[in-house]
Amino acid sequence: MAKKRIVIDYEKLPEETIHKIKLEYPEGYEDNLITFTNAEGRYISALPFETEEIYYLIRMTENEARQIIKDDEDFGEDGKLREDFGDDFEGEESDDSDEEYLDDNYDEAENVKDVADDDDDDDDVDDDDF
């Protein structure tokens, strides 16, 4: 079964997902943004993030990515995740009911394509299908 693909704004993500994203990108988000064309033909920049069930594209510009890190107390002044991050996190596994709001963005994600890269990597995934 294919993973659900979702395009969403950072501030709409569940706290547990944001926690995992911070762990995935401990040096900030800006250098990891991709660009894709949405269903309306507009270029969108986003941070890719993948869980076992969902492939997220989290909409944000480079300026927004820098501001998110700057405003987040989990990141230091150097823009890197604090070493003690997660010591006080008490998140629990969420169920699907927490992500009902994501279904609204599913249609937009159907046409996601990473225009920053061609599919000439060595994985078995056809990146052009996104």
Give the pLDDT mean for 9-31.
95
Q: Is pLDDT of 125 > 70? A: no
Examine residue 72 and state whether it is found in any structural domain, yes or no: yes
Examine residue 124 and state whether it is found in any structural domain, yes or no: no
- Phi, psi dihedral angles at 75 (to 5 degrees): -110, 140
**Structural domain count of the chain:** 1
Examine residue 84 and state whether it is found in any structural domain, yes or no: yes
Q: Is pLDDT of 67 > 70? A: yes
Number of H helices, E strands in the chain: 3, 4
Residue linked to tokens 């300026």: 63
Give the pLDDT mean for 16-34.
96
The parent domain of residue 109 ranges over: 4-116
Residue linked to tokens 């547990």: 16
Examine residue 14 and state whether it is found in any structural domain, yes or no: yes
Q: Per-residue b/e over 32-45, b at no fewer than 16 CB within 10 Å? A: ebbebebeeeeebb
Per-residue pLDDT tens digits for 99-124:
444 444 554 555 555 444 444 444 44
Examine residue 85 and state whether it is found in any structural domain, yes or no: yes
Examine residue 129 and state whether it is found in any structural domain, yes or no: no
Examine residue 128 and state whether it is found in any structural domain, yes or no: no
Residue linked to tokens 């979702």: 6
Residue 83: CB atoms within 10 A of its CB come to 9
